[in-house]
């Protein structure tokens, strides 16, 4: 199943409810980037943001925690209404199992995110406990960066591992996911596409038109590729 996950840091926050009504019809998930200004050099969104959109959508909401100390925010993020909580591999080295268990204990699904420079082998020992694996295809922190093509073999590794071990976590790509990259991402087995500025919100000021364009571009780029 293909999943389109809209990255709300790129949305028009002044018209959030109007835009959620549109995204509810065209996307299968919502992606909320929570940044603390330390793990990456930006400040964005928060558990309170998730709580405020919760009443306007039934789509699963993923919290992508780009924070130095994710253990401090798991409970608050779960209580705010996140369905998936994704942690950066680089931040959980010494407490990966404990934090994944904490996410599940809160009734949420657990994800891990690999920054471009982090090898797939870093997460291998806890992969079978996960519900989602996200391969960042740009460095964390900003919209509008160039796609890192060296990430395609890493995506392939995540897909092959799950096939070899009979698991069914979602494999997701985040960063510069757009008409220029859909084809290669799809071919390498990506299930979930985080759509930010270049794939969705920057396409058209009218978000309904942008959604239609995104779906057409995805179909054109992926036709017959898998
Ligand atoms: C980071 C965000 C962005 C988002 C930005 O986690 O989720 O990377 O994809 O969109 P682009 O890369 O298209 O500007
Ligand atoms: Zn993200």
pLDDT in tens, 41-61: 999 999 999 999 999 999 999
Could you tell me which of 120, 137, 208, 140 has the C-alpha nearest to residue 178? Answer: 137
Alpha helices by DSSP H, the chain: 16-26, 47-53, 74-80, 89-92, 96-105, 152-164, 182-187, 207-222
Q: Is residue 47 lining ligand 1, measured as CB closer than 6 Å? A: no
**Is the C-beta atom of 149 inside 6 A of ligand 1?**
no
- The span from the CA of 124 to the CA of 139, in Å, is 21
Residue 165 three-state SS: coil
Cα–Cα distance between 222 and 209 in angstroms, integer? 20
pLDDT tens across 16-30, in order? 999 999 999 999 999
Active site residue 83: no
**Do residues 3 and 29 lie in contact, with contact meaning Cβ atoms separated by under 8 Å?**
yes
Q: What is the pLDDT of residue 224?
A: 86
86 lines ligand 1 (CB under 6 A): no
pLDDT, position 63? 98
Does residue 198's CB lie within 6 angstroms of at least one atom of ligand 1? yes
Q: What residue owns the CA closest to ligand 1's atom 4?
A: 196
Phi, psi of 124 (to 5 degrees): -55, -35
Q: Which residues contact 121 (CB under 8 A, 6 or more apart)?
A: none
What is the CA angle 155-215-152, rounded to 5?
15
| Catalytic (active site) residue 36 | no
Q: Is the CB of 144 under 6 A from ligand 1?
A: yes
Mean pLDDT, the chain, whole residue set: 97
Ligand 1 atom at minimal distance to the Cα of residue 145: 12
Under DSSP, is residue 30 helix (H, G, I), strand (E, B) or coil?
Answer: strand
pTM, rounded to two decimals: 0.97
* pLDDT given for residue 225 in this prediction: 86
User: Is the four-CA dihedral 164, 1, 58, 141 of positive or negative sign?
Assistant: positive
Residue 119 has pLDDT above 90, yes or no: yes
Of 33, 36, 131, 191, which one is the catalytic site residue? Answer: 33
pLDDT tens column, 175-192: 999 999 999 999 999 999
Choosing from 19, 36, 131, 174, which is the catalytic residue?
A: 174
Q: What gap in Å lies between CA 124 and CA 96, rounded to an integer?
A: 11
pLDDT in tens, 102-111: 999 999 999 9
Of the pLDDT bands very low, low, confident and very high (cuts 50, 70, 90), residue 195 is very high
């Amino acid at each position: 199943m293909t999943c389109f996950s809209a990255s709300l840091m790129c949305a028009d926050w002044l018209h959030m409810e109007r835009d959620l009504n549109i995204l509810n019809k065209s996307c299968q998930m919502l992606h909320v980037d929570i940044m603390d200004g330390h793990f990456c050099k930006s400040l964005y969104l928060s558990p309170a943001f998730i709580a405020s959109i919760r009443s306007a959508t039934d789509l699963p909401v993923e919290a992508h925690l780009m924070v130095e100390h994710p253990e401090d925010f798991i409970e608050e993020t779960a209580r705010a209404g996140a369905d998936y909580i994704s942690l950066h591999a680089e931040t959980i080295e010494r407490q990966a199992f404990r934090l994944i268990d904490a996410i599940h204990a809160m009734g949420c699904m657990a994800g891990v995110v690999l920054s471009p420079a982090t090898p797939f082998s870093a997460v291998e020992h806890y992969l079978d406990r996960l519900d989602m694996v996200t391969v960042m295809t740009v460095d964390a922190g900003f919209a509008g960066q160039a796609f890192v093509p060296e990430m395609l073999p890493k995506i392939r590794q995540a897909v092959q591992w799950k096939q070899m071990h009979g698991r069914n976590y979602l494999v997701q790509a985040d960063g510069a996911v757009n008409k220029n990259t859909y084809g290669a991402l799809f071919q390498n087995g990506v299930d979930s596409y985080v759509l930010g500025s270049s794939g969705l919100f920057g396409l058209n000021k009218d978000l309904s038109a942008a959604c239609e364009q995104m779906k057409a571009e995805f179909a054109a780029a992926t036709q017959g590729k898998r």
